[in-house]
């Protein structure tokens, strides 16, 4: 059935399946202190990337819930001020928030009418946008981790 293929495709975009390391696991095994480190020439730490990805995922979850979340007037509004977490507990909490929002969006890909247009975009367009955004930044996380000799995550990942 065509709709099943579309649902599988959009879940693949959200999860990274078949394209790169699983989006939900790209932060696995990363020490909280390394999460705030940046290799030379890299603009963001893994922590900053995580918080940025989470910001937009949570924004999309609110959008799906019928809210009209504010869009920051400048890109900097979706990036955290801190380069790294203050503690291991803060790091674990940040990763868990990321995963919860990703799970909520994956669930939407299974259950929502993907052609419904609750705002200026269809559900499918919003999920694809978040999937592409996550994919882009997951690649940056891999690069940061490679520069810190902390790649691949324990679950594995593309290493070539």
Q: b/e string for 47-63 if b means 16 or more Cβ within 10 A?
A: bbbbbbbbbbbbbbbeb
Q: How many domains does the chain have?
A: 1
Residue 116 lies in a domain: yes
d(CA 103, CA 97): 10
Which residues form the domain of 87?
2-147
Residue 156 lies in a domain: no
Residue 11 lies in a domain: yes
The CATH number of whichever domain residue 116 belongs to comes to: 1.20.120.450
pLDDT digits (tens, 9 = 90+) for 116-150: 998 789 999 999 999 999 999 999 999 999 999 99
- The whole-number pLDDT of residue 67 equals 93
Residue 155 lies in a domain: no
Question: Mean of the pLDDT values across residues 28-55?
Answer: 97
């Amino acid at each position: 059935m065509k709709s099943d293929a579309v649902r599988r495709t959009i879940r693949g975009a959200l999860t990274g399946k078949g394209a790169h390391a699983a989006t939900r696991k790209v932060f696995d095994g990363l020490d909280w202190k390394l999460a705030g480190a940046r290799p030379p020439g890299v603009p963001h730490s893994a922590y900053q990337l995580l918080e940025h990805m989470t910001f937009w995922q949570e924004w999309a979850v609110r959008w799906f819930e019928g809210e009209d979340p504010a869009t920051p007037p400048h890109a900097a509004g979706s990036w955290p001020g801190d380069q790294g977490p203050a503690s291991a507990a803060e790091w674990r909490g940040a990763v868990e928030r990321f995963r919860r929002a990703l799970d909520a969006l994956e669930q939407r890909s299974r259950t929502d009418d993907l052609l419904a247009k609750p705002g200026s975009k269809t559900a499918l367009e919003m999920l694809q946008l978040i999937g592409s955004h996550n994919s882009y930044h997951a690649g940056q996380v891999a690069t940061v981790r490679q520069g810190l000799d902390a790649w691949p995550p324990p679950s594995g990942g593309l290493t070539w």
